[in-house]
A and B are shown apart, each in its own frame.
Chain A
Amino acid sequence: MKYQSQKVAAYYFYCAMALFAAQVTFGLVLGYIYVAPNFLSELLPFNIARMIHTNALIVWLLLGFFGAAYYLVPEESETELHSPKLAILQLVLLMVGASGAVVGYLFRVHEGREFLEQPLWVKLGIVAAALIFLYNITLTVLKGRKTAITNVLLLGLWGIALFFLFALYNPANLTLDKIYWWYVVHIWVEGVWELVMASILAFMMLKLTGVDREVVDKWLYSIVALALFTGLLGTGHHYYWIGTPGYWQWIGSIFSALEVAPFFAMVVFTFVMVWKGRREHPNKAALLWALGCSTLAFFGAGVWGFMHTLAPINYYTHGTQVTAAHGHLAFYGAYVCLNLAIITYAMPHLKNRAPYNQVLNMVAFWLMSGGMAFMTFTLTFAGVVQTHLQRVNGEYFMDVQDQLALFFWMRFGSGVAVVLGVLLFLYAVLMPRKEVVTPGVKTETVPAE
């Protein structure tokens, strides 16, 4: 840690990890309700548990992004944060909002659009927190060195805040409601979040591999160009069947098929950087998470997204377990792995130690990723069978679901593996061993950062 104010990142990461634990716990409960539907059916109905599962995910990922920004911006800008106090205030605001929302959900206090269930006061709190954040980070960047990484990161974070404003607009006409709802949901995860993802990965490649900044910058701009060129019009793949014009079937199919490109570019980028890199960085676990991130994002968001994005295919698969399969691996690969990568990289610096518990951390990676991959496979099979029985044969929804029981049991099993992986990860990151681990026998040619 070169700058004292980077320390605030640690608090963001702690809160992110706490919500991560909550998210997967509720995920496990939901997976269990699928196989034992009477479980908690009065106390915690499926819709309430799912709200907490998805909202906790979104908030902890955002906390991770904010933490990552507070960690890397001072280092990139070569200056202290404008105001660490404001950063803490922002975190308190977000945590009060998040815990208020969760407690409210348990008592059935919520709004009703998917993922945007936060009551209005929480939404306004999120906007206020975002404004504080943007003010703080923008001033930091302006007073220090400007780099491609901070440029792209800042643009992504501004985009997150701006497009969130559409969450406040809820027209009575359902088709209009859905058109603008996707402005938040799609343009976040398949647009501006990719900017955040690419810039954090670029920062990690710079630190972990020691490749020249010029090379990293070129990759970074090329990747984010691909992301927005395809992702903006790629929104069209959500405009097939909601009352929007038929031309979206062409535009959505073509551009969303191309959305694979930025994810593929990120795979090539990370692997080429590691291959070309001169540096033997001691934090092998962080490198594993970073490579795992680009690879699993390519499969989850890219390949699994492409699988059902063409309109003639989506006509049959839309809103089946195929979508669930894609959603799980895409979020895990692109954004969960990204956050766990930067947390794994930054925590030793924030604690002022050499990288620790690396083997445990790497075991956690394989357990979590193996679990998520298996979950994706089971849901994909469930979705394909569902598509055939329900959309082709016309059997009724619940009759079809009963025939999918085996897949849902296997999904629950994979969920258990994921939760164990998460617990292992939290232990590895939060509980440094007393003795410092020495980083093997390889000699380092370039000092690690």
Chain B
Amino acid sequence: MSTRYSRQELFTPIGAEGQKKIRQAKIFILGAGALGSSAGEMLVRAGVGQVTIVDRDIIEWTNLHRQQLYTEQDVVDQLPKAVAAKQRLAAINSDVEVKGQVVDVTPDNVLNMIEGYDVILDATDNMETRLIVNDAALKLNIPFFMGACVGSYGLTFPIGIEKNQPCLHCLLEMMPLQTMTCDTVGVISPIVVTTAARQVADVLKYITGNPLTPALVSADVWSGDRASIDVRSLKKELCPSCSASAVYPFLTAKHSMQTAVLCGRDTVQLSWPKSRPFELAAVAVSLRGTVSKMVYNPHLLACEYGNHRLVLFRDGRMLVHGTKDIVVAKKIAAELLG
């Protein structure tokens, strides 16, 4: 083991002392898509103590050009990303305690999920989830390393590393209604790796006690544009998420069914309150004859219904592929599940 990390220890800012700190670090990775794959692999190879990677989705053909932990067989097996990522990461480095959780991060479950971790690495595909985790991370005082990318452009921003820095809520005066998505403008793998690399460099600096500034940094690997802005002046005195009188507005859960149109795909997600997980075996029996091409494993049930492919997860979620219309998705849920 002492030789395994020798080249990393030879790097002076880390050294043997830094490696010990890396070894103790518990990392929570929010999302096992492109950024989560790339960052997860780097952190596991670096020899952190624990990695938990969470994701709500399954692996598809359109993921393989940029989501480096996955193989064609994973698509054929319809594996959830968190399951395949866990297997691959554990195979890369058995020193690391790797966990994978197939779950949608919501205001209801986020605090329980992230409690006890030293660092949260953002690899989600939507701003709603980022703002939920921004609130939760600030509440529990855990640094949150934001990262996002689309096309050939990406940005990073470490949150919660300095007392008087702004949070994500300070920077986003309003909720972006429609940001560009991988669906509308595509995405290429070099920006994924570039963005994840910057996030991981920041995480390594943080856990080894090296200086780190809360800069908002962007890069475009195609045009060569890059920018770094010191955003400390954007801290809002009365921010509902990070001021002394914070109320963490994004942690206020709604207790009805939640809907979301997923980034990157023609898909609607319906999620039921956590009190209503699916009994997949029972669902499989009740849908037999009504749906076609049913595949059923311990994690999920996938099938076709009319022009839509459906994926039901044990934690009480259903993905409806082939539509962006929430009403269509809800109608299908009502038809099949009541």
| A and B co-occur in one complex | no
Question: Which residues on A are within 8 Å of B, measured CB to CB?
Answer: none
B interface residues, Cβ below 8 angstroms from A? none
